[in-house]
């Protein structure tokens, strides 16, 4: 990334990778903040201080891991982003959607954004198609969503949903922090519960703009 050019992720790109087995949610939220804040993205990628301070000599992965930890401290602690009271959650179980919601509302999305959790696990195929269409309607460049996915019994992984960037645009893309890959969030695979992202197929929960 060159100075002054905002961090960007589109279909076919590869972004940062989560730095621990339990920080998929923290990684997704860190990437979301990088997309919203050019200065923050510049610091993570190049170590450049937007305020003119010295360049951070560490690697991109080290800076990314540091911020992952800060995000998890907020999402899983008593005080979430914005100093909002939060229901604590064990770090070993990953990022709770209610903590992630506050992180999106206070720094990881457009200033003033409001988010809500939606359970999609119990819906029919048609209900899942409706949920996907709603995400297409709501998700924007500075208003991403989180998608919790897993198996039939539990959510196991967190991904970041972005506006579609394929030929002609439209639809949705999904960033997988396990690999850093950005691929299409196909509506039919979403509805059929055959996502095939990081080994997980079933949509469970969205944390989406409202």
Find the length of the chain: 210
**174, 198, 190: which is closest to 123 by C-alpha?**
190
16 in a structural domain: no
Per-residue pLDDT band for 78 (boundaries 50, 70, 90) equals very high
> Quick one: tokens of 74?
């907020």
Per-residue pLDDT band for 1 (boundaries 50, 70, 90) equals very low
The enclosing domain of 48 has a CATH number of 3.90.70
**178, 172, 174: which is closest to 157 by C-alpha?**
178
| Range(s) of the domain holding residue 145 | 24-209
Please tell me the total count of domains within the chain.
1
11 in a structural domain: no
Beta bridge partners of 147: 159, 206
Phi, psi of 63 (to 5 degrees): -65, -40
What pTM does this model have? Answer: 0.94
4 in a structural domain: no
* Cα atoms found within 13 Å of the Cα of residue 67, Cβ hemisphere only: 26
Q: Give the separation between CA 113 and CA 179, rounded to whole angstroms.
A: 28
């Amino acid at each position: 990334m060159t100075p002054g050019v905002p961090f960007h992720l589109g279909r076919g790109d590869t972004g940062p990778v989560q730095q621990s087995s339990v920080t998929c949610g923290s990684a997704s939220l860190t990437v979301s903040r990088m997309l919203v804040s050019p200065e923050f993205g510049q610091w993570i990628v190049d170590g450049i201080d937007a305020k003119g301070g010295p360049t951070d000599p560490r690697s991109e992965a080290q800076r990314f891991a540091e911020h992952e930890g800060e995000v998890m401290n907020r999402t899983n602690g008593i005080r979430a982003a914005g100093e909002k009271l939060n229901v604590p959650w064990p770090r070993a179980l990953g990022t709770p959607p209610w903590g992630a919601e506050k992180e999106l509302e206070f720094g990881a999305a457009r200033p003033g954004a409001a988010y809500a959790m939606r359970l999609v696990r119990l819906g029919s195929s048609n209900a899942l198609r409706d949920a996907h269409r709603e995400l297409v309607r709501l998700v924007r460049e500075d208003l991403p969503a989180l998608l919790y996915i897993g198996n039939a019994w539990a959510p196991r992984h967190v991904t970041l949903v972005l506006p579609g960037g394929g030929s002609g645009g439209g639809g949705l893309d999904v960033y997988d922090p396990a690999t850093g890959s950005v691929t299409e969030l196909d509506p039919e695979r979403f509805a059929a519960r055959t996502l095939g992202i990081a080994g997980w197929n079933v949509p469970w929960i969205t944390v989406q703009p409202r």
